[in-house]
Amino acid sequence: MLRVIAFVMAAAMLAACATPYAERGLLGGFSAIELRPDVWRVRFSGNGYTTRETAQTFWLNRCAELTLEKGYTAFEILSDMQFVMRYPSSEDEPTLPRSRILGANRMTILASAEELAEAARWHSDNGRMVSQQNDSNAPRVKVATVVARGAPVIIYSGGGYAVRMPALEGDIHMIKRPAAVAPPKVFDAKTLQAAIAPHMDTEKCGNGNVCPHVHEYLLPAGKLR
């Protein structure tokens, strides 16, 4: 009986924490699907205690981590994404122009027309692949059918209550050749990881969430200076 009570108490304590940076489990976490060797759909799902800041930080870190694991050096975000964007406060940077201090707290990244056209081509290729399933000599390749669009997820629980459980999902194109880095669209994986690491490794804020911070790594180099 005591063992059951201890298990219930431990489960309750665990449930009151934000989703940790780990593979997807009971509390959420990250996952990835290979759409083709250089294109992956990456997702991070948080629980009801996870902040949007945390989900975004963990999603970006997993994209960089996966890129390096697969032997690539950079990645490009193919999907429409909306990121939290925090600029320095007037106390942090008193000389910063007022318009920058009061900048928008959301950054929208849109999939280009070329990327959407490429997704349509993948979809067409997928249709041809299905029609050729009876042909043993037909090439079999993994293809994407759509470009994922990152967005928060709202899950409704019992009693008519809505619990916001932030999740980001997006397609990334991994690059081996030297890439023209252009945040917030194209990132060098090692550089991005180095910029995010201090925010993931330091003491967390509120239920284990990543503390709010200035997202300089989402902007071109020197943009805040």
Among 16, 1, 108, 17, residue whose Cα is nearest residue 56: 108
Per-residue HEC secondary structure of the chain comes to CHHHHHHHHHHHHHHCCCCCCCECECCEEEEEEEEECCEEEEEEECCCCCCHHHHHHHHHHHHHHHHHHCCCCEEEECCCEEEECCCCCCCCCCCCCHHHHCCCCEEEECCCHHHHHHHHHHHHHHHHHHHCCCCCCCCCCCCCCCCCCCCCEEEECHHHCEEEECEEEEEEEEECCCCCCECCCEEEHHHHHHHHHHHHHCCCECCCECCCCCCHHHCCCCCCC
Q: Quote the CA–CA distance of 224 and 215 in Å, as a whole number.
A: 10
User: How is the chain split into domains, by residue range?
Assistant: 18-111+147-218
164-190: average pLDDT: 92
For residues 165 and 70, the model is more confident at 70
Q: Tell me the pLDDT of the chain averaged across its residues.
A: 76
Confidence grade of residue 121 (pLDDT, cut at 50, 70, 90): confident
127 band by pLDDT with thresholds 50, 70 and 90: very low
Gap between the Cα atoms of 63 and 71, Å rounded: 13
The pLDDT of 35-63, averaged and rounded, is 94
Q: 125 near 94, Cβ under 8 Å? A: no
Looking at per-residue confidence, does 63 or 17 come out higher? Answer: 63
Checking if the pLDDT of 75 tops 80, the result is yes
Q: How does pLDDT run across 109-120, given as a tens digit for each residue?
A: 888 778 777 777
Q: Are 77 and 109 in contact (CB under 8 A)?
A: yes
pTM of the model: 0.75
Per-residue pLDDT, 58? 97
- What is the token pair recorded at 189? 């994986």
Q: Would you state the pLDDT for residue 104?
A: 44
What band does 90 get if pLDDT is binned at 50, 70 and 90?
Answer: very low
The whole-number pLDDT of residue 26 equals 84
